[in-house]
Structure 1
Amino acid sequence: MDVTDEPAVLVDGLRKTYGSVRALNGVDLAIGRGEIFGLLGRNGAGKSTALDIICGLVEPTAGRVRVFGTDVRRNGRSVRRRIGYVPQDNTVYLAMTVRQNLRFAAIVRGMSRRGARQRAAEVMERLGLGPIADRGGAKLSGGERRRLTIGMGIMHAPPLMVLDEPSTGVDIDSRHAIHHLLRELRGEGSTILYTTHHLEEAETFCDRIAVLDHGTILVTADMKSFVADYASPYCEIVSDEAAAVAALLRDALPDTAITVRDRRIRVATEQAETVTTVVRVLGASHLPVKDVRSVPVSLENAFLRTIGQP
């Protein structure tokens, strides 16, 4: 295979251990050129470790990674020039202004000073940083620092963007700016690999996803197929007497999956008549019910079922 035909990212048998802790356990991934790929998983699943290895920042215990046909372990410096990496923690230099941070990020990646000035102006415009261009990093809000960190990652116009929780903990304006940038990068043909806990965001932007749990890939699929195959609608009931309410529902619906967690009861509603039965049982009961809602199929629904949460 010619390297130009290879996926943007090819991960084969990736393993990483820290002493007795196994962070990654034989991860395989193939991320196509020009696609937005979401790596999903709960905290501690191994997502950040996988991204660090793909970017050549951490050595794997076993396995290999190729980025645009180039082996990361053998040619890490060359690969890193083609990646824009945005870690979970912001990497803003607090003593520098927004403009200076952006220019510095460009120069250390080999751009000329003139090119850095021009590119900084473009990036500030794209991320809404122009009005605060001369503000010091120490005086930026959390959302502004996040946008600046992302801006520093795209200064050298990398063909692959790797973003670790890009929109977590930011204000609504910053989130909109980040979402706008994702749309623009997609339109320009960039390949984007990113993690997020905002599943509605992933459902909007990702072409494909992989679910990582305890260092193992549970499933890899395109977004529509994953939701269709793994999600199922359910009815959620909130009650201080959840166990008693669930017992009544199980008597009325013996063949229906019903789970209880704390004060919440979930009733699978693949069958249309199930909702009618739930309403009837709750109406005839004198048990306290605080809330009832119908939850349609969604990425969140599919994700929770995949990792074994009802």
Structure 2
Amino acid sequence: MTQTAERQQATQDGHDVLVVDGLVRRFGDLTAVNDVSFRVARGETYGLLGPNGAGKTTTISMVCGLLEPDEGTVMVLGQQMGPTKVAPKRHLGLVPQDLAIYPDLSARENLTFFGKLQGLAGNDLKSRVGEVLELTGLADRAKDPTKEFSGGMKRRLNIGIGLLHKPTLLILDEPTVGVDPQSRNAILESVENLSGEGMAVIYTTHYMEEAERLCDRIGIIDSGTLQAEGTRSELIQLTGGVDNIQLTGSGDTTAAAEALRGLSSVAQVDAERGRLQLTVHDAPTAVAQIVTTATSAGLQLSDVQISRPNLESVFLHLTGKALRD
């Protein structure tokens, strides 16, 4: 069985909601997306990260069926997605980066309008609108025109519109851009709850801390190519998976450096005036032995600092850019 067939079988068996296989999209001589493949399972939040111009928007447009790929396929619950495909789009909720709400309508009116577009009617529509107003924390402002809302409230309503029809796959394209910290935290909590309820989520963001907090797996895309994919721990291994410990103090730094080089947990020691920079494996486990060894060798410590690799360092390692570049 080919890899594509295995993925499609997994989707039909109920494991994967989304299977993206070998997507390619060209605009003239420019290949915006080049052989991108990934999958998203039920209850999983998948982060798609990349600098501006990396190919994220083009990829998302093909996943949503807004753009036809030149090569490759997008399968949603075993159904092929495309611009002319209606059935798979019923399982999809899209929350675009640009606000898609009517400013002169109230929150309730916006939700009612979009709910009708999604095929809801009668008591089902009324009940679902009420549920979404509660979920997004907008119930007490349901009758107010949305032009009077703060940026964070508009963002929450934007998400609520995408949730109305209870999609199996929700795509959130930078949903916290320009919102205040309180609204941002409320949005992140909502996303955590959605994946906990079994919804598959694709999340794009320019805030690495959001990806660290929310995403079960992450794909890093740059120059149209998926450079790496995996859990946070798997991605960090790409940088070597080593930690840094900085020891500051007075005394015999030369002797301390020599003693530390003899420890199996220490990969490298760089000595400066009154300071030692160590590259180590598993700093939290190794730090006690390192401190004991350094002080026994004559270093009087005044400060110990530990820094561990994070997704930002992985991103820089793979792309040479910061996420917000």
Quote the offset at 1:21 in angstroms: 2.3
Write out aligned runs for 1:1-310 (5 A). 1=9, 3-5=12-14, 7-73=16-82, 76-230=85-239, 232-233=242-243, 271=267, 273-274=269-270, 277=272, 279-280=274-275, 295-309=307-321
CA change 1:199–1:113 in 2 (3 A) is same
Q: Which amino acid aligns with 1:150?
A: I
CA deviation after TM superposition for structure 1 residue 279, in Å: 4.9
Q: Report the Cα offset of residue 111 of structure 1.
A: 0.7
CA contact (8 A) 2:66 2:82 kept: no
Is the contact made by 1:98 and 1:132 (CA closer than 8 Å) also made in structure 2? yes
Matched residue type, 1:296: R
TM-score, normalization by structure 1 = 0.79
Contact 2:21 2:38 survives alignment (8 Å): yes
Whichever of the two has the greater Rg, that structure is 2
DSSP-derived class of the 2:182 partner: helix
Shift of 1:235: 8.7
With structure 2 as the length reference, what TM-score do the two structures score?
0.76
CA shift in 2, pair 1:134/1:221, >3 Å: same
Relative to 1, partners in 2 of residues 1:121 and 1:278: Cα closer, same or farther, differing over 3 Å?
farther
117-126 or 3-12, larger mean C-alpha shift: 3-12
Q: In 2, Cα distance between the equivalents of 1:170 and 1:235?
A: 36
Identity of counterpart residues, as a percentage? Answer: 36
Note the alpha carbon deviations across 1:204-257, whole angstroms, 9 max, x for none. Answer: 111111110010000111222112333554699xxxxxxxxxxxxxxxxxxxxx
Q: Which runs of 5+ in 2 are unaligned?
A: 1-8, 247-265, 278-304
Count of matched residue pairs = 269
CA distance in 2, matches of 1:174, 1:281: 42
Deviation at 1:112, TM superposition (A): 1.1
Aligned position for 2:286: none
Cα offset for 1:277?
A: 2.8
Given that 2:68 and 2:83 are in contact with CA atoms closer than 8 Å, whether structure 1 keeps it comes out as: no
Deviations 1:39-90 (A, max 9, x none): 1111111111111110111112221111111001286211111011011111
| 4+ residue runs over 3 A deviation | 231-236, 270-274, 278-282
Give how far 1:162 is off. Answer: 0.6
Mapped partners of 2:33, 2:161: distance in 1: 29
The structural deviation recorded for 1:177 is: 1.4
